[in-house]
Structure 1
Amino acid sequence: MGKWVSTLLADMDRLVSEVFCAQDSAYGSYKVPGTATRATGVELLSDTVYRYRLVDRGTKQAVTVQFYLGVSEAGEGLWNQEWRVLQRVASLRHPALPEFVDGGYIDEAVTAPFGVQGCAFVITRSGGLDQLFEESDPEEGMRAGLNETIINDLSVNRADTVGQFMALADALSVLHDMGIVHRNIWPGTIGQVRTEDGIQLVLTRFEMSSLVSNLLRSTLLDAGERARQARLLTVAQGADALAYFSPERITFLLVEGARLEDHRSDIYGLGMMVAEWMTGPIPPELIAGVAEAMTSGPDRGPDQERLLVASRAVNSHLRKAVQVLPGPLAALLRDMTEWDSVTTRPSAIDVVGRLSDHYEQLTAETEYNGTPYLMVFMPEECRDTLLKWEQIDNDPASEEGLVETAEFILSDLRGARVLHIPGGAVSFLAGQDPDKLRAAEHVLLGTENAWFCRPWSPERGRGRMGKPDPRALLAAFVINLNTSRGRSLRVAVKKARKQRLAPVIDVVASTIDVDEMAAELDGRPSWLPLFAAVRDAAPLTKNERTYTQAFDWLLQFQRTELESRQYPYVAEGAGERDRVLLRFDEQRDKRWRHSSAFATQFANETNLRPPMGDFFAGASNEDGTVTVSLRADDRGVPARTPSFVGDCVQAKSEMVEVVAGKRSARIPERGWISLSDDFGSWVALNRQDQAKWELLGNRLLVDQLARPNAMNPPALTKRSTNAEVADALGRTEPLFALQGPPGTGKTETTSDAVVSYLNREPGARVLVSTQSNFALDNIAERLLGKLGLLNGSGSTARGAQDVIAVRATGIRGEDKVDSAIAPFLINNLAELRQGDILKRTRELLAEAEAENDIGTPLLLSGWEAAIRDGLPELIDRVQRAANLVFATCSSATPSALERSAATDIFDLVVIEEAAKAWPTELAIPLSRGTRWALVGDHRQLPAHRRREIVQFLDRCAASTDDDLLVHGNRKDDYVKVFDLFGNLFVDGPKPVARPPRHTLRTQYRMRPDICEIVSRAFYPVEQAGSDGHVDLDAEGMLATGRDDVPVLRHPRVAARRSVVWLDTSAVPSCAEQPAWQNPGEVQVVRSFLRSLSPEPARGRHGYGDHPIAVLTPYRRQVEQFNSWAETRPHVSTIHAFQGREANVVVVSLVRDRARPDSADRPWANIGHLHEPELVNVLFSRAREHLVIVGAFQHFHDHGGPMWSDVCALVERFGTVVPADDPEAI
Structure 2
Amino acid sequence: MSEFDVRQHLSSLFAPGGQLHERYTPPVEGEVEDLVPGNVWQTFVYPHGAANPLIMRIYRLGAAETVLTSFWRNETRALMRISRRQHPALPILRDAASLPSLGLGYLFIEDPGQPLIGAHVALQRLRKDRVHALRMLLNLLDAAALLHREGLIHRTITPQVLCALDEHDSSPRLDGFQMSAFVASWLRGQGVVHEARGSALLPRDAASLITLAPERLGPLLGSSVRDLENFSCDVFSLGMVGIDWFVGLPPDEECRAAVLDGYDEGAHRRLIESAQQRLRQAQLPLELRRMLEQMTAPAARNRIPSAIEAHATLGRLFPSLLNQFEAEASQARRAPLHLYFLRQTVERMYKDGAGRSAPERLDEKEYAGLIERDLTEGVLTWSPQGFEPWDSGVAQDAGSAKVVLLGQRYAYFCQYLYQDSPKEDRRVLVVKYAEHASRVRELRNQPRQRTMPTVSASFFRQTGRTRPPATDDSWTDLVESIRFDSASIHVPEVSATVDWLVQAHEAELAIKEYAYERVEDGPAPPGDLTPRPIILRATARQPPPHLKDPKDAFVELFWRTGRVPEMGDFFERMVEEAVDRDERLVFQLRDEKGRDVPLKLQFEARLDARSVRFKPMEGDRLIPRLGKLRLDDSRSRAVLHRQQRAALGLSQDHELLAQLREPRALELATPAELQHVARHIQDERTAQLIRRIIASWPLFVLQGPPGTGKTFVASNVILDVLKADPFARILVSAQSNDALDNLLEVINEQLRKSWPDKEPRPLSVRVASQATEHRVSLRARNSLVAHVVEDMRGRLERSEASDNTPALAAIQDQWQTAARKQELDVELFHRVQRAASIVFATCAGAGANTEAMRAGGFDLVVIEEAARAWLSELAIPLVQGDRWLLIGDQAQLPAFRYGEVEQMLRHDIRERLTAESVGRPATEAMLPYLKHFRHLMEVASAHGSSSPPRHMIDEQRRMHPDISELVSHGFYGGQLRPHPDTRRLHGVKRPEQLRQSALLWVDTSSLGTGAYERGRTNQTEMQLLKHLLSTMGELRQHDPDIPAVVVLTPYLKQRELLRKRVQLEPEAFHSVDSFQGRQAEVVFVSLVRNNANERQAQALGFLDDPARINVMFSRARRLLVILGSLRHFERFSELPHWANVTRHIRSQEHFLLNAADPALGFHFKDSSGGKP
Q: Which amino acid aligns with 1:652?
A: D
| Distance change in 2, residues 1:230/1:986 (3 Å) | same
What's the secondary structure of 2:771's corresponding residue?
helix
Paired AA for residue 208 in structure 1:
M
CA distance change for structure 1 residues 769 and 336 in 2, over 3 Å: closer, same or farther? same
Q: CA deviation at 1:1219?
A: 3.0
| Deviation by residue 1:851-901 (Cα, 9 ceiling, x = unmatched) | xx99999786545312232222233332332111111111112623xx236
**Shift of the alpha carbon at 1:18?**
5.8
Secondary structure of 1:434 counterpart: coil
Q: 1:765 to 1:32 in 2, by over 3 A?
A: same
* CA–CA distance in structure 2, aligned partners of residues 702 and 594 of structure 1: 28
Does residue 756 (structure 1) correspond to residue 756 (structure 2)? The answer is: no
Q: Name the counterpart of 1:99.
A: 92
1:1106 corresponds in structure 2 to 1043
2:686 paired with 1:722: yes
Q: Which residue of 2 aligns with 1:609?
A: 564
Quote the Cα distance in structure 2 between the aligned partners of 1:830 and 1:960: 53
CA offsets 1:988-1040 (integer angstroms, 9 cap, x no match): 2756452121111111211212111111121016xxxxxxxxxxxxx766666
Q: What one-letter code is carried by the residue in structure 2 that aligns with 1:877?
A: R
Q: Which residue of 2 aligns with 1:872?
A: 826
Which residue matches 1:1205?
1140
How do 1:1039-1078 residues align onto structure 2 when only pairs under 5 Å count? 1041-1043=981-983, 1045-1065=985-1005, 1066-1074=1007-1015, 1076-1078=1016-1018
TM-score computed with the length of structure 2 as normaliser? 0.86
Distance 2:1151 2:919 in 1: 48
Which residue is 1:3 aligned to? none
Equivalent positions of 1:1169-1180 (< 5 A) are 1169-1180=1103-1114
- 1:497 shift after superposition: 5.1
**Deviations 1:1088-1141, CA, capped at 9 Å, x for gaps:** 223223x035448xx972112111212222232232352533211101110111
Cα offsets for 1:461-489 (capped at 9, x unmatched)? xxx997455554515242685xxxx5xx6
Structure 2 vs 1, CA of residues 1061 and 15 (structure 1 numbering), >3 Å: closer, same or farther?
A: same
Note if 1:70 corresponds to 2:26: no
Match of 1:1187 among 1106, 1121, 1131: 1121
- Of the structure 1 ranges 349-358 and 653-662, higher mean CA displacement relative to structure 2 is found in 349-358
- Assess if the C-alpha contact under 8 Å between 2:151 and 2:183 holds in 1: no
Match of 2:657 in 1: 702
Distance, in Å, in 1 between the alignment partners of 2:1054 and 2:183 is 65
Q: Aligned letter for 2:266?
A: E
- For residues 1054 and 620 of structure 1, the distance between their equivalents in structure 2, rounded to whole angstroms, comes to 41
- Following superposition, the deviation at residue 263 of structure 1 comes to 2.8
CA contact (8 A) 1:78 1:214 kept: no
Select the residue among 34, 44, 49 that pairs with 1:41. 34
RMSD between aligned residues? 4.3
Aligned amino acid, residue 1153 of structure 1? N
**1:474 paired to 2:408:** no
Asked if 1 retains the 8 angstrom alpha-carbon contact of 2:61 and 2:105, the reply is yes
CA contact (8 A) 1:356 1:498 kept: no
1:571 maps to what in 2?
518
> Residue type of the partner of 2:653?
N
What secondary structure sits across from 1:674 in the alignment?
Answer: strand
Equivalent residues of 2:561, 2:907 under 8 A apart:
no
Contact map agreement 1:267 1:348 (CA 8 A) in 2: no
Asked if 1:294 is matched to 2:249, the reply is no
User: CA 1:33 to 1:864, structure 2 compared with 1: closer, same or farther past 3 Å?
Assistant: closer
Superposition deviation, residue 782 in structure 1: 0.7
Instruction: Return the alpha-carbon distance in structure 2 between the equivalents of residues 20 and 1205 of structure 1.
Output: 46
* Equivalent residue in structure 1 for 2:852, among 884, 897, 900: 900
User: Structure 1 residues 214, 1191: CA separation in 2 closer, same or farther (over 3 Å shift)?
Assistant: closer
Structure 2 CA distance, aligned partners of 1:471 and 1:811? 65
- Which one of the candidate residues 1017, 1021, 1029 is aligned to 1:1081? 1021
1:670 to 609, 626, 630: 626
Tell me the SS of whatever aligns to 2:106.
Answer: strand
- Pairwise CA distance, 1:744: 0.8
- How far has the Cα of 1:980 moved from its partner? 1.9
The answer to whether 1:1019 aligns with 2:972 is: yes
Code of the residue aligned with 1:105 in structure 2: it is S
Counterpart amino acid of residue 1054 in structure 1? L
CA deviation after TM superposition for structure 1 residue 731, in Å = 3.2
Q: What letter corresponds to residue 740 of structure 1 in structure 2?
A: G
Give unpaired runs (5+ residues) of structure 1: 1-7, 111-117, 134-142, 459-463, 792-796, 1022-1034
Relative contact order, higher structure (CA 8 A, sep 6+):
2
Contact 1:1165 1:1199 survives alignment (8 Å): no
Distance 2:852 2:200 in 1: 41
CA distance in 2, matches of 1:703, 1:238: 40
Q: Is the 8 A contact 2:98 2:668 kept in 1?
A: no
Q: Look up the SS of the partner of 1:1145 in the other structure.
A: strand
* 1:922 match: 874
Note the 1:712-1111 alignment, pairs <5 A.
Answer: 712=667, 721-788=685-752, 801-841=760-800, 844=801, 861-868=813-820, 869-893=823-847, 895-896=849-850, 899-900=851-852, 903-959=855-911, 963=915, 971-988=923-940, 992=945, 994-1020=947-973, 1041-1043=981-983, 1045-1065=985-1005, 1066-1074=1007-1015, 1076-1093=1016-1033, 1095-1099=1034-1038, 1105-1111=1042-1048
Q: Which residue of structure 2 lines up, in the alignment, with residue 121 of structure 1?
A: 106
Contact 1:1210 1:1216 in 2 (8 A): yes
Indicate yes or no: 2:42 matched with 1:52: yes
SS of equivalent residue, structure 1 residue 1129: helix
SS at match of 2:1048: strand
Per-residue CA shift, 1:1173-1221, capped at 9, x if unaligned? 1111111111222222223222211474232332222222453334344
| Contact kept in structure 1, 2:866 and 2:888, CA below 8 Å | yes
1:1132 aligns with 2:1070: yes
The 1:480/1:431 distance shift into structure 2, 3 A limit, reads same
Return the alpha-carbon distance in structure 2 between the equivalents of residues 919 and 1154 of structure 1: 39
Q: Conserved in 2, the CA contact under 8 Å of 1:953 and 1:967? A: no
- For residues 479 and 591 of structure 2, the distance between their equivalents in structure 1, rounded to whole angstroms, comes to 47
- Is the CA contact (8 Å cut-off) linking 1:956 and 1:968 kept in structure 2? no
Which residue number in structure 1 is paired with residue 174 of structure 2?
203
Task: Provide the C-alpha distance between the structure 2 equivalents of 1:1106 and 1:432, rounded to a whole number of angstroms.
Answer: 58
Tell me the amino acid that sits aligned with residue 301 of structure 1.
G
Q: Secondary structure at the match of 1:627?
A: coil
Pick the aligned partner of 1:647 from 584, 590, 603: 603
Q: Contact 1:376 / 1:475 at 8 angstroms: preserved in 2?
A: no
Amino acid at match of 2:691: D
Structure 1 distance, partners of 2:111, 2:366, is 56
Amino acid at match of 2:1097: W
Native 8 Å contact 1:881 1:901 kept in 2: no
User: Structure 1 residue 707: deviation in Å?
Assistant: 2.4
1:1119 alignment partner in structure 2: 1056
Q: 1:738 to 1:341 in 2, by over 3 A?
A: closer
Deviations 1:501-533 (A, max 9, x none): 8637768573799999979x7789865555445
Change (3 A) 1:443 1:208: same
Contact 2:73 2:668 in 1 (8 A): no
What is the total number of aligned residue pairs between the two structures?
1123
Q: Which runs of 5+ in 2 are unaligned?
A: 522-528, 675-682, 1163-1172
> For 2:1134 and 2:517, how far apart are their aligned partners in 1?
47
Alpha-carbon displacement from aligned partner over 1:775-813 (angstroms, at most 9, x marks no partner)? 11101011101111899xxxxx98955311111123322
- Residue 526 of structure 2 is matched in structure 1 by none
Aligned to 1:5: none
Equivalents in 1 of 2:226, 2:184: separation in Å?
Answer: 14
* 305-314 vs 958-967, greater mean Cα deviation: 958-967
Q: 2:614 aligns with which of 655, 658, 662?
A: 658
Alignment match, 2:1167: none
Confirm or deny that 1:1151 pairs with 2:1092: no
Report the counterpart of residue 553 of structure 1 in structure 2: 500
The alpha-carbon deviation at position 941 of structure 1 amounts to 0.6
> How many angstroms does 1:312 deviate by?
3.2
Aligned with 1:93: secondary structure? Answer: coil
